[in-house]
Structure 1
């Protein structure tokens, strides 16, 4: 795989779901609760299998929507759905083990950002949960910030523009092929992680130049450079 020149990287952009926060695990638990009365503990294994089978087609659908220029209606629906929630989404995210320690360990010379399809309200909710780290994230780019969603390159390009950096000075860290496609099309470097539901073969096909077992392992890369 292509060697990423971390000595030349100036900004690290993180996806949220499956990369910083373990939303896939939360979905699995919800499905398992439905199955457990019928299958007992076997419901847990079946629930994870179901979510894994759904994840890849869902990412493929998002990519197809982008190719057909239908991602704007998809973005509108997502924004509308979250606007219907009664309670604020603040402080209730399950952060992937080791991620907080990893973020603390990233040297100060790297600028950090979040690029996600979640809403600005949800990004702010995540940052409110980690107030000691929130100042490190110089840029956030969510569903309201660009006309097109990942896998379109616009979110990566917008984050780089706000940092006043070329895309080639940025590395995108994400768990899905959608993240990799977006970064590749923008000209950014790409690190895939396996702590979400993305699988190594599909991440490689989508253009991942490096694959880690978990986002928590990322700090080791930049500390060595």
Structure 2
């Protein structure tokens, strides 16, 4: 089984950096910044698609310039304080526990950039836990299924043996389009009723519920590789 996680809003509580960076991007382009609610509603989309959604009724907005300013602001914040956006409670423990299970591989599918994914993996020391990492630089924006289909191919797992864990409707729709299972998390940026309506088979309220949601029993740890 391949268990694929979204990053922002699922593993990482990054809402403050995202909202602040988007506000700065609009201000730098002489525009009124969007509200927190507007920004969080599009978290999960790739940057261009997110800006297009925020500026949907303003065709005069310079989408590319706003997107570039957002990336520069967001990356500057992450460089200045890479651990300012914390992991959610239980995230690191559940990643390590799942990675130790026999027959389980882990993946990432995020609207973040490759630079952002690499920074996340290295900041929290989890690079070796993931068999597949897909991001906005690799595929069309969520909810297009390409990220998940590529993650399945990268890990050598059929799509029907894959589960997407995410906090947005885009994650749930992407999973269903790819033929994968979809499990929502209640602590992210989209409400539970929308997650269920967009295809989540269930929504968990803590990482402690994930093993049960995935259908796992007691932990079966992989045997260590034999020394050469």
Provide TM-score, normalisation by structure 1. Answer: 0.70
Alignment of 1:160-175 (within 5 A): 160-175=152-167
| In structure 1, C-alpha distance between the alignment counterparts of 2:97 and 2:161, rounded to whole Å | 20
| In structure 2, C-alpha distance between the alignment counterparts of 1:51 and 1:216, rounded to whole Å | 29
Which of these residues, 5, 11, 18, is aligned with residue 9 of structure 2?
Answer: 18
Alignment of 1:23-172 (within 5 A): 23-24=14-15, 51-52=36-37, 54-56=39-41, 78=67, 81-82=70-71, 85=75, 89=79, 91-92=82-83, 93-106=85-98, 107-131=101-125, 133-146=126-139, 148-172=140-164
| In structure 2, C-alpha distance between the alignment counterparts of 1:193 and 1:150, rounded to whole Å | 17
Q: Is the partner of 1:113 in helix, strand or coil?
A: strand
| RMSD of aligned residue pairs (Cα, Å) | 3.3
Q: Which structure 1 segments of 5+ residues have no match?
A: 1-9, 32-49, 66-72
1:158-202 superposed Cα distances (whole Å, 9 cap, x missing partner):
111111221101000000001001111111100000111211110
Q: Is the partner of 1:145 in helix, strand or coil?
A: coil
Deviation at 1:94, TM superposition (A): 1.2
Q: Is the partner of 1:105 in helix, strand or coil?
A: helix
Which one has the bigger helix percentage? 1
1:120-177 superposed Cα distances (whole Å, 9 cap, x missing partner):
111111111222x32110110011111x110111111111111122110100000000
- 1:26/1:76 Cα in 2 relative to 1: closer, same or farther (>3 Å)? closer
Q: Is the partner of 1:172 in helix, strand or coil?
A: strand
- Aligned pairs, how many? 187
Alignment of 1:168-187 (within 5 A): 168-187=160-179
- 1:137/1:121 Cα in 2 relative to 1: closer, same or farther (>3 Å)? same
Deviation at 1:51, TM superposition (A): 3.2
| In structure 2, C-alpha distance between the alignment counterparts of 1:127 and 1:59, rounded to whole Å | 18
Q: Is the partner of 1:22 in helix, strand or coil?
A: coil
Higher relative contact order (CA 8 A, sep 6+): 1
Which of these residues, 200, 203, 208, is aligned with residue 208 of structure 1?
Answer: 200
- 1:219/1:104 Cα in 2 relative to 1: closer, same or farther (>3 Å)? farther
